[in-house]
A and B are shown apart, each in its own frame.
Chain A
Amino acid sequence: MNNIFSQIKRSKEMGILAILVVISIIISAFNSSFLTFGNLLDVVKSNIVLGIMSMGMLLVLLTGGIDVSIASVISAVTVIIGRFMVDYSSNIFLIFLVGVVAGSLMGLINGLLIAKLKIPPIVATLGTMSVIFGLVLYLTNGNWITGIPQNFIDFGRVTIGQFPVAGSDRIQGIPIQFLFLLFAIALTWFILKYTMIGRGIYAIGGNRDSAERIGMNSENITLFIYTYEGFLIGLAGVVHTSIMRQVDPNAFIGFEIQVIAAVVLGGASVLGGYGSVSGTIIGVSLFCIINNGLILMHIPTFWQKIVVGVVLITSISFDVIQKRMHDKKNIRVDIDESESSFKRLSVVQKSTSQA
């Protein structure tokens, strides 16, 4: 326990956590309803999808990659499961299965383009983003899918526990969707910490050449990352539909920026190698609280976009500048500083050690 604490203390996470606390205090000073159980529950509920997707993005960033197709993938997943449950079956298990399989397949395509064809991730995912968004529009004409089966709607309304809401007679429980977020966090944490693929992800992000030199298969790891990310997006798509009870094919346009910003804010380096599940949780929370705070403070919504951009650029700049300073510190030439002869010294040592 002591060890965990000391690890957190010297890490980036602690700094972000401190910012999180400060901002929370500022917002609650402006609006007393911020730090209420009801509001926080709303914040969590409306950001479960962001949270699940941030776990996938974390893996991608850790290897130095990026994925801008995630918004199109989740749009496609919601459209596919929307049509599936309206036209074919309202079996909850099947709906989940279709969602995660569809998401995984789209992720696999990204992975193949990046790992096998060696297309830079930003270009590959830009391409798939355009293709998938195009297909979504073709299939839906931009129309919403409504008429979601009642049992799926009921499933989405399930809550756990009962908590009184301060200042009203309402009683609220924790939404079932929250469990899926916990599942995604736990699974990602386990993969990163306890599987060789997870450690390989860090190794590749730290030094790809070395990783390949000792026999790690960076192609397979890359395939895994994007497929796993697709899997989580599939999950997020089902969770999202269960909250919204309808499918808007345009709901996610621009969402990739938010996910990337939240993960980067949590200390993940766009240069690869650095980032953690705990940091990402803190980063996502901070990101959500800033957004929520802006709403509570009645600041016009276009400011949110500006804030997202500023957050993204500031965190990345911080990262890049830090790396540059670190590189500068690395000495390139060993300057002969001392004029005293090393030779005499060590020869003397050698002869004494022989004698």
Chain B
Amino acid sequence: MAQNMFLRMHNVSKTFPGVKALKNIDLEVEYGEIHALIGENGAGKSTLIKILSGVYQPDEGAEIIIDGVVQKTITPLDSLKRGIAVIYQDFSLFPNLSVAENIAMVSRVEKRKKIVNWRETNQIARSALAKLGLKIPLSKTLSELSVAKQQLVAIARALVNDAKLIVMDEPTSALSRGEVESLFSIIRNLKEQGISILFISHKLDELFAISDRFSILRDGKYVGTFGEDELDDDRLISLMVGRKIEYKIFEKRTLVDPIFEVRNLSKAGNFKDISFTLHRGEILGITGLVGAGRSELAQAIFGLNPSDSGELILEGKRLQVNAPEQAVQHGISYIPENRLTEGLILKKTMSDNICLTVLKQISSRHGLIEKEAQNKLVEKWIEEMHIRPNIPNMIASKLSGGNQQRVVLSKWLATDPKVLIVDEPTNGIDIGAKADIHQLLRDLSEQGMSIIVISSELPEILAIGDRVLVMRRGKIAAILDGKNLTQEEIMKEAL
């Protein structure tokens, strides 16, 4: 068995300051195998790929054997020379250069050329495209090609370098059905030439259509490798989900007083036909895979990325929202990703931070800040949010993490939103601080605020969402009742 393996990774771990991203991963890829690597957002797939491509170095104790050679360390150049080619989602191509040049560029750099031989460039490109059985005009500028064709150029480029393992990161995410089919036939063709493919995708239907074996990661750990015949959708999902994170699960409420309605919201290339209702005092969780259109939707509601069609109705009134200022005026606030953890000016006082969003309210007619109004406002928020110590002139960096978050939240709440949208509010912070934020959001909802929480982390959505809206490829897949909801049920809709 071992001789058939092009790649063997054993006991691969990766620790970043404070986070263990990968724990003892095993991965084996045979020659001429199409191998699927799957896992939820944040399961560690990209970290693993970056180790394979030499961008990250693994922790001590990892064993990596490529093509029968034990690799003590891997640099990006080693990885290339041993025949590993990673095609990133952005393809790493040059939009302003010709097809031929894009294909030949890597080998030119590798051979340390000084002078360009255009005939050779064209020959290299022609033979690489021939291997794929493709006809793309060599002199065409890359940016004039469709995304699907650009991807094929990226694959052709990998072949020039004698790739034996091609890693494809979400290769089908921007392709139409027909284009996916032709990509798959090319992949099968490569397989017949003995080239292995490591295929990363979230689309189960496609994975089952193309893959020989599946390796599953969950939460930075290796779950196992399975043959195609050992798995079906349900089994696969149950292996993928089930991150064991203990959050306090808040009691789910059934709320009946609608306050905000989104009707048939669409934006080309972002999302389509989104309709839902938000109730007073409700927390609606929105989840879905990265790239499902969640943040785009939130930004459309907030006017950052206005929609093409559809309506927003707040308290019975139709809203015109083409810019964030309008959204704020109507009572909609949006806290983008990481703002709850990074949204402070650390060197300024708590008081200055809280006032940032409402400078107009506390200014005189001439545009100067009135100290008294500022103090009043800040005292109110310290009181309401229980910020401790209650010293307005305390420098923000000296506050504890939890209190810093209260300050950030106060800053946004000072705009007096009726609807608050928070995007990935707990991304990258420790569990204690996450629980604090959950409690804060819950408290706000108890006071009657309606909150939309966008999160990739299913346990978080399950902990605080009264209802859960699942997005899938730009559309609503389902709106689920938060009572007794499980990760599997959500994931089934998301995939």
Contacts and interface: CB of A to CB of B under 8 A. Distances in A.
Interface of A: 3, 7, 193-196, 198-199, 202-203, 205-207, 209-211, 213-216, 273-274, 326, 330-336, 338, 341-343, 345-347, 349-350, 353
A207 B174 contact: no
A206 B113 contact: no
Given A7-B139, A207-B92, A273-B96, A214 B106 contact: yes
Contacts, number: 120
Given A203-B94, A341-B205, A347-B208, A195 B114 contact: yes
A3 B270 CA distance: 39
Given A331-B269, A333-B269, A338-B177, A195 B92 contact: no
Given A210-B92, A213-B92, A342-B177, A333 B205 contact: no
B209 A196 contact: no
B472 A336 contact: yes
B164 interface: no
Nearest to A336: B473
A334 B92 contact: no
B293 A206 contact: no
A195 B180 contact: no
Interface string B272-298: 100000000000000000011100100
Interface range on chain B: under 10, 10 to 19, 20 to 34, or 35 or more? 35 or more
Contact of B209 (A202, A206, A346): A346
B474 A336 contact: yes
Interface in B86-130: 90, 92-97, 101, 105-106, 108-110, 113-116
Contact of B93 (A194, A207, A330): A207
Contacts of A3: 139
B184 interface: yes
A306 B105 CA distance: 43
17 contacts: A198-B116, A203-B97, A206-B96, A210-B94, A214-B92, A214-B106, A214-B109, A216-B109, A273-B94, A331-B174, A332-B269, A334-B291, A334-B474, A335-B293, A341-B205, A343-B205, A347-B209
Given A331-B269, A335-B475, A202 B206 contact: no
Given A336-B475, A347-B209, A196 B93 contact: no
Interface of B: 76-77, 90, 92-97, 101, 105-106, 108-110, 113-116, 139, 143, 147, 173-175, 177, 180-181, 184, 188, 204-206, 208-210, 268-272, 291-293, 296, 472-475
Contact of A335 (B115, B180, B271): B271
A42 B352 CA distance: 64
Contacts of A193: 116
Nearest to A353: B188
B205 A202 contact: no
B209 A343 contact: yes
A307 B372 CA distance: 52
B181 A346 contact: yes
B184 A346 contact: yes
A110 to B, nearest CB: 24
Contacts of A334: 173-175, 291, 473-474
Given A206-B96, A210-B93, A326 B143 contact: yes
A195 B175 CA distance: 36
B56 to A, nearest CB: 14
A206 B94 contact: yes
Given A209-B92, A214-B109, A334-B473, 17 more contacts: A195-B114, A196-B109, A196-B113, A196-B115, A198-B116, A199-B97, A199-B116, A205-B96, A214-B106, A215-B76, A331-B174, A332-B291, A333-B270, A333-B271, A334-B175, A336-B475, A347-B209
Contacts of B206: 342-343, 346
A246 B472 CA distance: 73
Contacts of A196: 108-109, 113-116
Question: Interface residues of B: mostly helix, strand, loop or mixed?
Answer: mixed
A335 B110 contact: no
A321 B93 CA distance: 23
- Most B CB contacts (10 A, CB to CB) among A209, A334, A343, A347 go to A334
A262 B11 CA distance: 60
A273 B97 CA distance: 9
A54 B283 CA distance: 60
B149 to A, nearest CB: 14
Nearest to B157: A214
- Most B CB contacts (10 A, CB to CB) among A213, A274, A341 go to A213
B292 to A, nearest CB: 7
A74 B449 CA distance: 65
Pairs A-B, 8 closest by C-beta atoms: A343-B205, A335-B474, A346-B209, A336-B473, A331-B269, A206-B94, A206-B96, A273-B96
A326 B143 CA distance: 9
A332 B272 CA distance: 13
B269 to A, nearest CB: 4
Nearest to B209: A346
Nearest to A331: B269
A188 B109 CA distance: 21
Contacts of B95: 206-207, 273
B97 A333 contact: no
Nearest to A328: B269
Contacts of B268: 331
- Most B CB contacts (10 A, CB to CB) among A199, A213, A216, A335 go to A335
A333 B116 contact: no
A346 B178 CA distance: 11
Nearest to B184: A346
Contacts of B209: 342-343, 346-347, 349-350
Nearest to A213: B92
A194 B119 CA distance: 12
A213 B116 CA distance: 20
A216 B110 CA distance: 9
A213 B161 CA distance: 14
A219 to B, nearest CB: 15
A229 B462 CA distance: 61
Given A333-B291, A343-B208, A213 B271 contact: no
Nearest to B177: A342
Contacts of B174: 331, 334
A133 B151 CA distance: 50
A332 B295 CA distance: 11
A227 B66 CA distance: 43
A202 B96 contact: yes
Contacts of A203: 94, 97, 105
